[in-house]
Amino acid sequence: MTTKKYKTIYFIYNADSGLFNSLKYWYKKNIKKQHGTCELCDISHGKYFVRIDWLLFLWELKKDYDVKVLHRDEVSQKIKDKVSFFPTVIGETFDNEIVQIMNKISFVDWGNPTDVRELEEQIREFIDDNR
């Protein structure tokens, strides 16, 4: 039997929280077609709503881990000290160590990702390889 290394998995968007910020982000992305959008947002959300596949993925992950989905302005100082760029996926170990599972470069390497399953495979592979 393998023990789990991570107690918490954090998904952190490259966007700020709040209704106004969400509307501003949506406008810049969908109306003005500005670059610099959040790759994690592209995976977890369609043009108007959150993707069902994303919710199912989080639901499955929550069976084994505490899962937190945050915006960059909601992250603790402990994570900010470790991470410079967003979006990111972070694992917090039982020893309270912060480990970056995916970073902005990992997302950008996909080109223009919109596939929740591919994200899930990469995250599960990393977690399984780093037990």
The rounded percent of the chain whose pLDDT value lies above 90 is 38
Residue 9 lies in a domain: no
Alpha-carbon gap, residue 43 to 65, rounded angstroms = 20
Per residue in 36-77, pLDDT (tens digit) is 678 888 888 888 888 999 999 999 999 999 999 999 999 999
Q: Which residue has the tokens 């599960």?
A: 124
Residue 5 lies in a domain: no
| 62: containing domain | 17-129
3-17, 55-69, 78-92, 111-125: least confident range: 111-125
The tally of domains found in the chain comes to 1
Q: How much is the pTM? A: 0.85
Residue 8 lies in a domain: no
> Would you state the pLDDT for residue 1?
44
Residue 72 lies in a domain: yes
Residue 105 lies in a domain: yes
Residue 4 lies in a domain: no
Element (H, E) at 118: helix 116-129
The rounded percent of the chain whose pLDDT value lies above 70 is 89
